[in-house]
Amino acid sequence: MTDLIGRVLGAGRYRIDSELGGGGQAIVFRGTHLSLDMAVAIKILSFGAAGDHAAQVRFQREAQRAAALRHPNIVTIYDYAFEDGMYYIVSDFIEGMDLQKLLQTKPGPMPVDQVLAYVRQVGEALDYAHRQNIVHRDIKPANILLDRREG
């Protein structure tokens, strides 16, 4: 999907800048909200999954449910659309890394106070989501984003 770099989506609102990673169902790109000059994340349903109606429905449901959540420890969803054969979700871009990368790059055990801080923040986000009747279903270190700006 690197051929998408530079492509503009959303009636000229978003530009795809670079690939960040992904899995079998979707690929995440760093993008720019052009009118606001703001970094965003653009998650695009993989072309293989885009042909699967059940995957399309799950992707749309993911966007709708996540968009309903307003919590400081949950990524904000700005947009969901289907355009030129692509389903995509636009959200906050988190400047930093995921917990899995941190664990792989830091030697030795993590200090207990840091572990407790991460567990507290993840727990608060999950508690809020559960009170909204939303279950994440894929909590793992690679899905926990650490915002560099927050320390």
Active site residues: 138
DSSP codes, 101-140: HHHHHS-SPPPHHHHHHHHHHHHHHHHHHHHTT---S---
> CB–CB of 4/14 below 8 Å?
no
Structure tokens at 87: 């389903």
Question: How many residues can be counted in the chain?
Answer: 151
> CB–CB of 46/22 below 8 Å?
yes
